[in-house]
């Protein structure tokens, strides 16, 4: 079955610390990959996406993600987090033939302390 796994459910960091959130997916076919962010009380917003080309993708607010096909992974990174990055982060995968249907991971709640 198609599935998406996020390794960390809760992450607590201090400001300026580096961030890496793991995401792995099942299935070996063509995929489109996304990271969404949900700030407290708000709806999901797209952080970045990967369809093809350079496997290192840069998104908004200094976030980036690297697609490693051999590992079925799409980890999210930020070199220095800010308090305003406190949010829930969702990895999502569109598997081929899905009419843009996304399979979401369970989400990772990030808390950044000043």
Partner 1 sequence: DAGVIQSPRHEVTEMGQEVTLRCKPISGHNSLFWYRQTMMRGLELLIYFNNNVPIDDSGMPEDRFSAKMPNASFSTLKIQPSEPRDSAVYFCASSLFGQSYEQYFGPGTRLTVT
| Chain residues in the site for partner 1 (CB under 8 A) | 32, 34, 36, 42-46, 49, 51, 90, 94, 99-104, 106-107
Nearer to partner 1, 12 or 46 (CB): 46
Cα 84 from Cα 65, distance rounded (Å): 19
Q: How far, rounded to the nearest angstrom, does the alpha carbon of residue 69 sit from its chain's CA centroid?
A: 15
Closest approach, Cβ 14 to partner 1, in A, equals 26
The secondary structure element, H or E, covering residue 98 is none
Closest approach, Cβ 9 to partner 1, in A, equals 10
Burial bucket for residue 54 (CB in 10 Å: 0-12, 13-18, 19+): exposed
Nearer to partner 1, 32 or 86 (CB): 32
Cα 9 from Cα 107, distance rounded (Å): 6
Closest approach, Cβ 104 to partner 1, in A, equals 5
Supply angle C-alpha 75, 24, 15, rounded to 5: 30
Nearer to partner 1, 16 or 46 (CB): 46
Closest approach, Cβ 71 to partner 1, in A, equals 22
């Amino acid at each position: 079955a198609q599935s998406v796994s996020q390794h960390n459910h809760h992450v607590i960091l201090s400001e300026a610390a580096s961030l890496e959130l793991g995401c792995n997916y099942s299935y070996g076919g063509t995929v489109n990959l996304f990271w969404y962010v949900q700030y407290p009380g708000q709806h999901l917003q797209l952080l970045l996406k990967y369809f093809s080309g350079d496997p290192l993708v840069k998104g908004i607010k200094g976030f980036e993600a690297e697609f490693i096909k051999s590992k079925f992974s799409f980890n999210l990174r930020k070199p220095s987090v800010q308090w305003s990055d406190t949010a829930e982060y969702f990895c999502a995968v569109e598997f081929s033939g899905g009419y843009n249907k996304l399979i979401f991971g369970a989400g990772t709640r990030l808390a950044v302390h000043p």
